[in-house]
Amino acid sequence: MKALEGKVAMVAGATRGAGRGIAVMLGEAGATVYCSGRSTRGAPSDLNRPETIDDTAEMVTAYGGKGIPVRTDHTVVSEVEALFERIDREQQGQLDLVVNDIWGGEKWTEWNIPFWEHNLSNGLMMQERAVHSHMITSYYAARLMTKKHSGLIVEITDGTDYSYRGNLYYTLAKSSIINLVTSMSEELSPYNTAVVSITPGFLRSEEMLDYFGVSESNWQDAVVQDSHFAQSETPFFVGRAVASLAADPKAFSKTGRHLSSWGLSEEYGFKDIDGRKPHWGNYYQTIKHMY
């Protein structure tokens, strides 16, 4: 029996990147996974990327789970409410895991520009996409999970602390998720519902591969452009981190904590899908003097 067989999960932002990697690895562990996001076949989001939730759901099924695509804009309350009502109805109230990976801030982040010169609308849009969406999603997830007095909410972010990340608005969005986890864990603990944040390292996402002009098969060619890329990880690595945590019967002991893909790899012993065990934390300690 697979570790998550019989479990029901919902991954918000399952279209691409970490969200897709997480959804697919939950499928590998046997879970039923609702894959939500805005991009469907023939109807891409404003990011205009080729990946869709339909593709992700098919990958979940191909890896051994059951993928269910549900087009949802997680900044629209009525759409999120409808998503959880559907899960409640179809799964008879069962919802074991919710992963919040909504981001979509790539086009709104203006790097190397002080906040007072940064486009304010873009900065505020980041908060709507990456913070408001998580708050809305967690609101409805908690309403369903507390009825059963069990569940796990995983918030995907960048980093494990409140340090500056190169852009005020980006930093605010990512660190707000850490604060959200700390606060939610306090209120959900009496209901046996755990909440954690997890950060990946240097993510070798579809967009990052495109940026460097490489594919997964020859990604190491891009190391000449950025030496840090040698320490990158596929989205499936953080996916296995989430799957391993969700399968841990003692997962509740981690509620309120801010975790990392590499740290969970050390604890649970999983590898990336390419057989590597990247450890961004160790690597960062060797280069942090550069920043």
Q: pLDDT above 90 covers what percent of the chain?
A: 90
- Whether residue 2 lies inside any domain: the answer is no
Contact 209, 216 (CB under 8 A): yes
In the annotation, is 170 catalytic?
yes
- Whether residue 123 lies inside any domain: the answer is yes
pLDDT at position 48 = 80
CATH of the domain at 77: 3.40.50.720
Distance CA 270, CA 273 (A): 9
User: pTM for the complete prediction?
Assistant: 0.96
Distance CA 107, CA 23 (A): 24
- Whether residue 275 lies inside any domain: the answer is yes
- Whether residue 285 lies inside any domain: the answer is no
Among candidate residues 34, 63, 140, 170, the one labeled active-site is 170
- Whether residue 19 lies inside any domain: the answer is yes
Determine the average pLDDT of the residues in 35-39. 95
Distance CA 186, CA 262 (A): 26
Q: How confident is the model at residue 290 (pLDDT cuts 50, 70, 90)?
A: low
Question: What letter represents residue 93's amino acid?
Answer: G
- Whether residue 33 lies inside any domain: the answer is yes
- Number of domains making up the chain: 1
Distance CA 266, CA 244 (A): 11
Burial 120-143 (b: 16+ CB within 10 A, else e): eeebebbbebbbbbbebbbebbbe
pLDDT digits (tens, 9 = 90+) for 144-156: 999 999 999 999 9
Return contacts of 179-188, CB within 8 angstroms, 24+ apart.
180/131, 180/134, 180/135, 180/138, 180/155, 181/155, 181/256, 181/258, 182/256, 184/138, 184/142, 184/153, 185/255, 185/256, 186/256, 188/142, 188/145, 188/146, 188/153, 188/255
- Whether residue 288 lies inside any domain: the answer is no
- Whether residue 25 lies inside any domain: the answer is yes
Give residue 125's domain range: 8-204+234-279
